[in-house]
Amino acid sequence: MKGVAFDLDGVITDTAKFHFEAWSKLALEKFDLELPAEFESQLKGISRIESLERILAFGKLSGKYTPAQVAELADEKNTYYVAAISKLTQADILPGISQLLADLKTQQVKLSLASASKNAPMILEKLGLLTYFDAIVDPSKLKAGKPAPDIFIEAAKAVGLAPSECVGLEDASAGVAAIKAAGMVAVAIGDKEELAQADTVVSSTADLNYDLLVTSYQQAQGK
């Protein structure tokens, strides 16, 4: 194992609360609509436009805005989101991740970030983790997003490695599919049934450590 490619949201930190905070602010200001807390789960893992369409449907406002207006509102939400994530601190790093990054660097493992978030560099800087990473993939330059393998192939290439020399870390099934399609070993965080395609699944980031990644890599290579 010469490299590890990290997803960001749900692996290094959890920005879902900031997304929902931004959507809630937009809904209240633009539609006089209060989003219930349980609505947050309906907005996870989908695009900005699709999220807004679900909010409009919830408020019985579907079809009342042109595609151009929808795009403008979605961009406004992102402005709110960027403002919200400016509050991030080291306290928002998920359990076990700081130690894992430190141990990987000690072992001279190359680290890359494979996140679809265009705000990833700023988020890492806020968390105080930017210097750990040897490369950050620019998602805007990719032909296809997850579950396509592009981002993980690029994550390996950016640190001068073959995907087969790397482990990928993900918390979503689409991300795991992308890791496997790229030819990496997949270690996932979350539900074992949902993430069954991964080579190893742990329930929490607190369960991640250098030895577990090495063992997962060796076992996968031996299959």
Q: Which residues have a catalytic role annotated?
A: 7, 9
User: Nearest CA to 176 among 198, 149, 201?
Assistant: 198
CA dist 68 and 166 (Å) reads: 41
CA dist 91 and 107 (Å) reads: 25
Q: Residue 5: count other Cβ atoms within 10 Å of its Cβ.
A: 31
CA dist 203 and 135 (Å) reads: 27
Q: Provide CB contacts within 8 A for 183, sequence distance 6+.
A: 149, 153, 162, 163, 164
CA dist 207 and 203 (Å) reads: 7
**Number of residues that make up the chain:** 223
Q: Residue 119: count other Cβ atoms within 10 Å of its Cβ.
A: 16
Q: Provide CB contacts within 8 A for 55, sequence distance 6+.
A: 23, 26, 27, 31, 33, 35, 39, 43
Q: Provide CB contacts within 8 A for 81, sequence distance 6+.
A: 18, 19, 21, 22, 119
